[in-house]
Each structure stands twice: as C-alpha cells, then as structure tokens.
Amino acid sequence: MMQNFSLRVSTIIDHAARYHPNRPVIGRSVEGPIVESNWQEVQREAKQVAAALQGLGIKKGDVIGVMAWNTVRHLSVWYGIPGAGAVNHTLNPRLFADQLDYIINHAEDRFIMVDLDLLPAFEAIIDRLPKIEKIIVLTDRAHMPETKLDVICYSDLIEGQPDDGAWIDGDEDEACGICYTSGTTGNPKGVVYSHRSNVLHALAAAAPDMLNLSSQDRIMPVVPLFHANGWSIAYCAPMAGASMVMPGRDMTAAGLYEMLEMGVTYTAAVPTIWLGMLQHLKAENLGLSTLKRVLIGGASCPRAVIEAFQNDYGIQVLHAWGMTEMSPLGTICSFKPEVSSLSEEGQLDIQETVGHPPYTVDLKIANDAGEDLPWDGKTPGRLLSKGAAVVQRYLKEDADALDEDGWFDTGDVAVMDANGYVRITDRSKDVIKSGGEWISSIEMENAAVAHPDVAEAAAVAIPHPKWDERPVLVIVPMPEKTPDNAEIMSLLEKRFAKWQLPDDIITVDDLPHTATGKISKLELRQRLKEQGYKLPE
C-alpha cells in the first residue's frame, strides 16, 4: 500500500519553498515600490500569517474575508489562511456595497484582511457587518491609513511570529477557500473549494495540454486572485516551481506593460485587458521582449485578438473557458494531433473554440431533457459538467446544484465537435431565439468587434410578435470613431445567414458590466426597455 499523502494546499507552498526556494516572486506593492521575493520567503511569511491568526483566536473552519490586489504579500496571505486551518473568502472590490455586506454576512467572515487603498469600502458598510471582529490592513506601520475603524497593522501583526511552525493539518476535504459568483439575478452564491479540489485542480490545470506550466516560466496573473479562484494560478505556479510576477493594483495597459517587461513569459487575463494592451502596444510602437504565451478566458476571445498576438508579436494564445463553480478550469484550447496539421486559418478556427477539458473534468452537451446531443460541431445544447473540482452544492443551500445524474448545468450553451473541442455560443439566459432557432450572440459580438471602429459589442434579444425574438446589436465605438453600420453589417453577412442578421445596430456610449467585467445583458435589455426601444419596422 502507498502512503496517504494529504492533498492540502500547504503541501504546494512547502514543495516550492523546498525545491524552488530562490525562484523569483516579484511584484508591485500597493504602497508603490517593487518587491523582490522568492518561494522560500513567501512560505516563511505565510507561516507567520498562520501563527498570527491563531494567536488572534482563529480556529479551524473560521472564514476570513480578503480584499486585496495581486501582490507578493497576498500570496503569503493566500497560504497563511488555509495554513491556519481557516478559509480564505476572496472579496471583489468592484462589488456593490449591498452585495459585499451580503456575502460577508452570508459566509460568516470573522476577520477582514484588506489592502490599504480598499479600506474605505468597509468604512461605508461596517455597521452592517456585526460579525466582523477584526480588520487587518495589509501594509506596514508607515503606511497605515487614517480611519475611524478599529484596525490592526499587518506588519505589526506578523512581526516576531515564528516562520517555521507547523501548518494546521486536517482532512483534505476541509474547506480552503470561498468565492461567490456574481449572481446577475438574485443573491450571489458561495462556492466552497476544498484543499483536495484545489490541489487536484492545480495538478490538472498545470499539465502539458492545459497551462503547460514549468519551472522555466515566469507567470503574471493579471486576473485578480479574487476572481474565480484566481484561475488557480497561485496554486499552479508554486506547484510547478514557476517564477511569478504580481502586477499590483495598476490595471492600465501602461502599468501592466511595465510589469510584463520584468521577464514575464506567460500571462493570463480576460479579453478586454488584452484589447487595451494591443491598442497601447500599437499606439506607443512597443514590443514584448519576453512574453511567449497568453491565457485568455472569462469571456469569448475575439479572433482579431488571437491573430494580433500570434501574427504581430509571435505570442501564442491559449483560449480557455471556465467558471467560479469549476475552480475554474473547464477547457483550454491546445492543439491535439487531430488538428495540428491544419492550415493557419483552420487553426485559428479551432482557436475560436475554447478547446477541450483536462482529466478530472467531464463535459456533456444536452437537450432540455438532459439527453446527449451529437458532437457534430453544430448542434447547440446545454453544457453540463462533472469533475473533481466542480461544485456540488452552493454554501448553505439545502439541495445539490446537480441533476439526477450528477451533472452541473454550467448555464452556458455550446456545440462540441468530433474531437471534443467546445465552442461556447451563449449564456442560456442570454440566448436569442428567432422563429425557434438559436442565433449565437457571442459569434455576432466577435464578428462586430473585428471592425476596427468597434470597441465593444453586445447582441441581445428583443421581443418580436412573429418571430418571438429578434437580435439587436448594441455597439460602443472606439474613442473618436463613428462606426459605419453598413460596414458592420457586411462583416456580419460573411458569417451569418440573412435571417440571423440583427434587425438593428445601435451605438451607445457604454455598456453595463458586472463586477467581474462581463457585459450585463439583463441590465442592457432593461435599459432598452426603459428607453422605450422599438425594433425598426
């Protein structure tokens, strides 16, 4: 028999500290300066965090809310909290105040750890957070902000704490982290990751056909640690012994560019970040001297972005799909032998799909009755999933979030081809159904943003007396541009049948977004309704 190796996340940081101790972990601090650290130092500080939290009375299973940018310090907190047996509840600073107090109270956070610039978010709502006992500001004494709140300084807290104590041990199925889904309707829902699910997920995600991460890489997660388990990068990187760069709070293209040029070989973010970066590179006539790969997910990546990275900069794009409920990885688009001999155009067609799942994730395309639909690349259906790091039940719900065969409905609509490549066509709540047929809003939006004057696009369903619904395309122009509707329509005509074309193209100044940066179609449809929008005759 083999040993019973406990799949706890502390084993990840221990591995990195022991076998990759000097690998650089570099970041922009919230206070300003660049911090140069390594896995051994990150682990030692995590041990101090764990010891300090226990000293303050934190017990196994207690929940600590963390609202922080991607910094080196955040990595020590990321491992220090579960190392104390507690649960790391990531908080998105872009949440509305009422959502924030809802999730803090719902998850029963005992402590809050917060970056110094984000403290005002709590000043505004502290009266509504009766269970919060302590607020720890993630900075040193010199930078402690003025506040009416009773706060503790992080540096004071960990000073003098042992940096070599034992982690709190326990069962690998114990809770490790909580992330709430943004909940476009109703209240946000809590997804609880276990130690085991996080370790298995990171093993699966780092593997060659997925992130293909190694100790040769230096990875910069632009995607925040508070978004969908930070795409697991804070687990995958130390597991692989990779070097890391943490970009801090400056999410501007210029700020991120400066960090990318610190030897970053690999980076990850949602498409809008990369649209902005590509514009910046063009406008300033800049190159990327070390970057080799970009992981793009969270929303559909337009073909133009994939082409620009690969053709203009020689950087490989990995298009990925996932969700909070899946820890988050569902699929990544890497080439299987079946597609690697395709022409350049054929490969780009494949890269518009979100690829195929790793071992530990199983997928199914189903009709409304839950029956399997063919993998023919054209029959859309509900995308269902199962796996080692897929949600079973949301926090404090009284029933599992699964159908009777144990499948979790992702809420996405997709087609799958014979090679197991998935193409996301819609969110099920955003589908456009005209005369009984689906029209893919994602495909329409991607076709529209291929026009150089279009910055952002959303295709929405408008009720229609004869066809039930008809598509309308809402676009945001690039700065100082006035897109020509006829030109956009002719781009769409290349990809859509006549009956699928939008009945109207409307230009607006901005589109409503959720806290995770996705276009809120629900709100957009409401806006149009309130403005008394009518389809053209």
Q: Per CB under 6 A, does 431 bind ligand ADP? A: no
From the CB of 245, what's the least distance to ligand ADP, in Å? 22
- 205: enclosing H helix or E strand: helix 195-206
Q: Which stretch binds ligand ADP (CB under 6 A): 60-68, 322-330, 394-402, 451-459?
A: 322-330
The residue (of 83 and 224) whose beta carbon lies closer to ligand ADP is 224
Q: Per CB under 6 A, does 410 bind ligand ADP? A: yes
User: What is the residue-wise DSSP string for 264-305?
Assistant: --EEEE-HHHHHHHHHHHHHHT---SS--EEEE-SSPPPHHH
The residue (of 107 and 424) whose beta carbon lies closer to ligand ADP is 424
Residues with Cβ within 8 Å of 137's Cβ and at least 6 positions away in sequence, in order, are: 114, 115, 116, 119, 144, 145, 151, 152, 153, 154
From the CB of 216, what's the least distance to ligand ADP, in Å? 26
Helix then strand then coil, in percent of the chain rounded to 5, is 30, 25, 40
From the CB of 182, what's the least distance to ligand ADP, in Å? 3
* Beta strands 329-332; 468-477: pairing state: unpaired
The residue (of 29 and 441) whose beta carbon lies closer to ligand ADP is 441
The residue (of 10 and 441) whose beta carbon lies closer to ligand ADP is 441
Q: Is 290 left (phi over 0), alpha (psi -120 to 50) or beta?
A: alpha
From the CB of 295, what's the least distance to ligand ADP, in Å? 10
Q: How many Cβ atoms from other residues are within 10 Å of residue 342's Cβ?
A: 13
Q: Per CB under 6 A, does 370 bind ligand ADP? A: no
- Supply the residues annotated as catalytic: 181, 325, 433, 438
Integer Cα distance of 315 and 117 in angstroms: 34
Q: Per CB under 6 A, does 321 bind ligand ADP? A: yes
From the CB of 249, what's the least distance to ligand ADP, in Å? 20
Binding mask 217-256 for ligand ADP (x = CB under 6 A): -----------x----------------------------
Q: How many Cβ atoms from other residues are within 10 Å of residue 51's Cβ?
A: 21
Q: Per CB under 6 A, does 299 bind ligand ADP? A: yes
Bridge partner list, 322: 329
The residue (of 168 and 442) whose beta carbon lies closer to ligand ADP is 442
Q: Per CB under 6 A, does 92 bind ligand ADP? A: no
- 361: enclosing H helix or E strand: strand 361-366
From the CB of 328, what's the least distance to ligand ADP, in Å? 6
Q: Per CB under 6 A, does 411 bind ligand ADP? A: yes
From the CB of 228, what's the least distance to ligand ADP, in Å? 4
Binding mask 158-197 for ligand ADP (x = CB under 6 A): -----------------------xx---------------
- 329, 356 in Cβ contact below 8 A? no
Q: How many Cβ atoms from other residues are within 10 Å of residue 146's Cβ?
A: 5
Q: Which stretch binds ligand ADP (CB under 6 A): 2-10, 334-342, 401-409, 514-522?
A: 514-522
Q: How many Cβ atoms from other residues are within 10 Å of residue 405's Cβ?
A: 10
From the CB of 181, what's the least distance to ligand ADP, in Å? 4
Binding mask 266-285 for ligand ADP (x = CB under 6 A): --------------------
- Count CA atoms within 13 Å of residue 349 on its CB side: 11
Q: Per CB under 6 A, does 424 bind ligand ADP? A: yes
Integer Cα distance of 255 and 275 in angstroms: 15
Structure tokens at 123: 């000043």
| The only residue of 71, 161, 327, 516 in contact with ligand ADP, by rule CB under 6 A | 516
Q: Per CB under 6 A, does 518 bind ligand ADP? A: yes
Q: Which stretch binds ligand ADP (CB under 6 A): 31-39, 166-174, 408-416, 450-458?
A: 408-416
The residue (of 194 and 300) whose beta carbon lies closer to ligand ADP is 300
The residue (of 133 and 523) whose beta carbon lies closer to ligand ADP is 523
The residue (of 183 and 263) whose beta carbon lies closer to ligand ADP is 183
Q: Per CB under 6 A, does 323 bind ligand ADP? A: yes
Bridge partner list, 316: 293
CA 413 from chain center: how many Å? 19
Residue 328: cis peptide before it, omega within 30 degrees of 0: yes
Integer Cα distance of 79 and 82 in angstroms: 6
Q: How many Cβ atoms from other residues are within 10 Å of residue 108's Cβ?
A: 15
The per-residue b/e assignment along 425-438, b for 16 or more CB within 10 angstroms, e otherwise, is: bbbeebbbebeeee
Residues with Cβ within 8 Å of 55's Cβ and at least 6 positions away in sequence, in order, are: 161
Q: Which stretch binds ligand ADP (CB under 6 A): 34-42, 232-240, 253-261, 314-322?
A: 314-322
3-state secondary structure of 502: coil
Number of residues that bind ligand ADP (CB under 6 A): 24
3-state secondary structure of 365: strand
From the CB of 185, what's the least distance to ligand ADP, in Å? 11
Burial-class residue 399 by CB neighbours within 10 Å (0-12, 13-18, 19+).
exposed
The residue (of 306 and 454) whose beta carbon lies closer to ligand ADP is 306
The residue (of 182 and 360) whose beta carbon lies closer to ligand ADP is 182
Q: Per CB under 6 A, does 386 bind ligand ADP? A: no
Q: Is 358 left (phi over 0), alpha (psi -120 to 50) or beta?
A: beta
Q: Which residues bind ligand ADP (CB under 6 A)?
A: 181-182, 228, 297-300, 319-324, 328, 354, 410-412, 424, 427, 442, 514, 516, 518
